A and B are shown apart, each in its own frame.
Chain A
Amino acid sequence: MRLHTTGIGLGFSGPIVARVATAPVPIDQRKDTALLLSFLGSAQDLHGYSAIVVRDKVDAPLGIPTMHSVQHIDHLASGHIIALEPLNGFIRTVYRPESKHNTLFATERCNSNCLMCSQPPIDKDDIAALTERNLKLIDLISPDPEYLCITGGEPTLLGDNLLAILSKLRDKMPSTYVHILTNGRRFAWPDFSHKFAEINHPNLSVGVPLYADYPSLHDYVVQARSAFDQTVLGLHQLARYGIQIEIRVVLHALTIPRLIHLAEYICRNLTFVDHVAFMGMEHIGHAPRNMSELWIDPVDYQPNLETAITILTRFGIETRIYNLQLCVLKPSLWKYSKQAISDWKNAYRPVCSDCEVQGRCGGFFQWATERQSRGVHPIKLN
């Protein structure tokens, strides 16, 4: 799946966010619309579009922001929302109405740096620009999606900008369920969590990772001192305001030894969480670099996972598993397995063609780097 391409910017200097039209539209619908063309026809009426995206080369300015010599246009469809960046020529697809899991990308920055981060943070000041893009994007989204995820980087680093984005979502699409993926640390500061809660978004939850039941191990995994304390205090702050919380636990060789303890810790100290998600590790980003420390074959941690889930579900906390193929999961855990919220999943391997549960199995990520469990095998029912 392609989510970005490049071209050459002409006639504009700041980023533009616009809705794609693959065919000309009436003049009154051209505002905030980028017309997509293979080549410029002679008598083309371009008046009123906010940008033109052309596969061919364009030599002279058209009097309208233009992205030309674009490498790929076939992945773009009417209704997609794109961001055009004239300086580097990027054309990013930032919203696809047909997708169930669109995201608002908040920032590439993060105050943690997890050993297995699938999208390693980059330290650059992108917050103002991305916030502007996201606010514009929210204006253009139509119809309201069922679900929208705010991710990064670390969205809480946006501070007041995050609050502005949430207020806008609350006002424009109150019934859209918004899930924020955050390390939760910033919520330890009562004034921030207070302001966050005051937004009073009616359909909001936060997903917060927790990797151990005690500070030093969690801090090591996320590569930040005091992160555990801040996250746990932050979770308590969020709970005070009744905000829905999902705890996310990535399963790897450093988290497995304390997994059962972590489940017990949640049942004693974080009793308010709405659910716990156990996630198979993605083999991309930082993970391949740290594989010697992180790798454990999922078939080898099934007993730990089963015990942890038993503890949580006996206590009454809803539990889910993501990113693990059914054939490596103990059958007793199949009922917790959910298809991941990502367009990058659902790839299958040759062995899967003989498998009778492929329809219920989330399959693999599309990353070529994925190391395969020795447990992968086609399942025959009875």
Chain B
Amino acid sequence: MPRPFAPQSAFVGSSDYQLLPFRFHRLDQQTEILVNECGEFLFVPEGTARKIIQKEFPANSELYPTLKAKHFIYDESSSPLLDVLAAKYRTKFGFIYGSTKLHIFVVTLRCDHSCHYCQVSRQTLNQGQFDMSRDVATAAVDMMLQCPSKHITLEFQGGEPLLAFDTIKYIVSIAKDGAARLGKELDIVITSNLAFLTDDILNYCKAHEIKLSTSLDGPEFIHNSNRPRPGGDSYKVTIEGINRARRALGSSRVAALMTTTQLSLQHPIEIIDEYVRQSFHTIFLRPISPYGFALRSQHKTGYETDAFFEFYKAGLDHILELNRRGYNLVEIYTQILLRKILTPEGTGYVDLQSPSGAGLNVLVYNYDGSAYATDEARMLAEMKDYTFKLGRVLTNSRADIFTSPAFVALLQQGCNQSLPGCSDCAFQSYCGADPVYHHATQGDMTGHRPTSGFCRRNMKVMEHLFSLLRSGDSFIQDVFWGWVTDRNLAEMRASIPQ
């Protein structure tokens, strides 16, 4: 005899629900967005958050199962699945495991360029004074290898690191030996203006699988204006360097980054088109650096943030249009945010981490043996602000560095979960804390969000991204999901219904 069937009502529990942690934000007059602790979001009619909190949703309402499935509420039948929520929370904060992954070695401050936004370079030719010594290099590599992470990125910066190529070779050799001994994977990047690229250097990079990253600020007139060097030919030198490096190493091993300046803000289209002209498929519309403008008034910072947002928005529009026309181009800032918004994953990008990635995920070893929490932190030090100096590699242990007052202060004020303003912001799980930025611009690591350029920029960018996601434009969805999952448009179209 077949067993009898029970009616649907036999499986519905009580509708007495409890709230799970979530936050909300009004996107426009009609719509608000709910975001839970793991970053899962839901667009709902305005007023829904209030109704949820006042328990106005019966179990048979349309929204109830969705609120439950997306972990905004729970009821008596949810409890076993809260473990699943915990697993997601762990995934999201996976970046904390393994401690510092990015280790920046400033092998020299010497440089032939005198870029407006750079606080650190020295024009001197007097070798030694601004170069990293072997002792410092050895101690810094030791400290790097002590970090538990299995996967480590070693990045050379300057100044112009190729001016101290012997130091690079020394560090690469001891780092590779150590990594092999400890079973760690090592990724090596040199950030260079490529002016001093030689065949020897390229052969060395090829043999050691080293990647090159350079600065390309846009077309010639922007690039040369941002990046003066004797002869005024930085653009020409950079492009030649990129092409030589690509021929020697392959395109995938040569990247370019741009720094946004006042001048750049007027020219998003020209900058992007330059990247296309040079056959790049990624561009990072990076926020304007505050470190040259630390003394600017808050009013001015606000103005710059709005100008950056217009720049970003016009840039993203143009990038989407290029993709529509068949050129695959990824905007990295958007990609990082979308990964946090659309997937359960966290990010390796320090500025958008909370707890702040300063120190926790990146460490900078300066040429003189001092260790800093981020590259920006060492720039502040060059401006005589030593707040984020964590210690010295020759005299301090890794434990000293990670228990230094500066590091503890960074952690205490680097969790947006508990920062005023952020603690109830809907975008908290996608955003960062950036105590270094707030210290530099507001004189206080905690910072004041209503006047923070960081907050204003991220809030605007995220509102914009959510409005694009909400628009239901399937082309935008295809491009965005392609960025999130590393597929180009053709691959995306081959896998989705068409």
Contacts and interface: CB of A to CB of B under 8 A. Distances in A.
Given A215-B77, A314-B477, A316-B485, A306 B88 contact: no
Contacts of B481: 314-315
B6 interface: yes
Given A261-B69, A271-B343, A316-B485, A216 B77 contact: yes
A268 B39 CA distance: 10
Interface in A193-249: 212-217, 219-220, 223, 225-226, 229-230, 232-233, 236
Interface in B1-49: 2-3, 5-6, 8, 10-13, 40
Chain A, interface residues (CB within 8 Å), range:
35 or more
Nearest to A318: B495
A364 interface: no
B69 A232 contact: no
B87 to A, nearest CB: 6
A56 to B, nearest CB: 37
B81 interface: yes
A220 B87 contact: no
A269 B8 CA distance: 25
Interface in B224-242: none
Given A223-B6, A332-B498, A229 B11 contact: no
A330 B497 contact: yes
Given A233-B80, A316-B487, A330-B497, A213 B69 contact: yes
A271 B344 contact: yes
Interface in A276-310: 286, 289-290, 306, 309-310
Contacts of A182: none
B496 interface: yes
B11 A214 contact: no
A230 B81 CA distance: 9
B69 A265 contact: yes
Contacts of A226: 77, 80
A134 to B, nearest CB: 25
B77 A229 contact: yes
Contacts of A215: 11, 13, 77-78
A7 interface: no
Q: Select the residue from A121, A229, A232 with max chain B CB neighbours within 10 A.
A: A229
Given A123-B3, A223-B5, 18 more contacts: A188-B80, A213-B66, A214-B65, A214-B69, A215-B11, A216-B11, A216-B13, A220-B6, A229-B77, A230-B80, A233-B81, A236-B83, A261-B66, A265-B69, A310-B474, A310-B497, A314-B481, A330-B497
Interface of B: 2-3, 5-6, 8, 10-13, 40, 59, 65-66, 68-70, 77-78, 80-81, 83-84, 87-88, 343-344, 474, 477-478, 481, 485, 487, 492, 495-498
29 contacts: A213-B65, A214-B69, A215-B11, A215-B78, A216-B11, A216-B59, A216-B77, A217-B11, A220-B11, A223-B5, A223-B6, A229-B80, A233-B84, A236-B83, A258-B65, A265-B69, A290-B5, A310-B474, A313-B495, A313-B496, A313-B497, A314-B481, A314-B485, A314-B495, A314-B496, A315-B485, A330-B497, A332-B497, A333-B497
Q: Ordered nearest first, which 3 A-B pairs have the shortest CB separation?
A: A213-B69, A314-B481, A332-B497
